[in-house]
Amino acid sequence: MAVSFFNLYMEGNGGIDADTPMVYIGKDVGPVHFFGGMGNTEQGHLTSTKTVFENHGAVLDISAFETVNTTLGINDVTAGTKVPTQAFKGNLGTISLYRTNSTANPR
């Protein structure tokens, strides 16, 4: 069963917890689709341990998701892929397009 989110806004607890992802997708879940939105991890000191999305499920599909205060946008454990955010100004960034096991460029 597919789950879709449209223009989702999320705020994290990066000041307290630098390891837990904002969105954790469990095994056998999905496909999960995110169409637009923004995730703010609220990290004071940017690390590559706090991600916006961590996927252990079937398929993660992201289209144009903005990020704030993070350097690592996706940890796709299913595909064995880590996708950094594309920084565009200071602590602001984006995940333009990503799909688990896509043959297209995941950035």
| The model's pTM | 0.85
Tell me the C-alpha to C-alpha distance, in Å, between residue 81 and each of 11, 32, 45: 24, 17, 23
Which pair of tokens denotes residue 39? 């995730």
The list of the chain residues with pLDDT below 50 reads: 103-107
Q: What is the CA radius of gyration of the chain?
A: 13
CA angle (37 as vertex; 33, 40 as ends), nearest 5:
115
The CA distance from 56 to 24, in Å, is 8
Residue 99 has a pLDDT of: 94
Instruction: With beta carbons less than 8 A apart as the criterion, state whether 95 and 68 touch.
Output: no
**Nearest Cα to Cα of residue 73 among 15, 25, 81:** 81
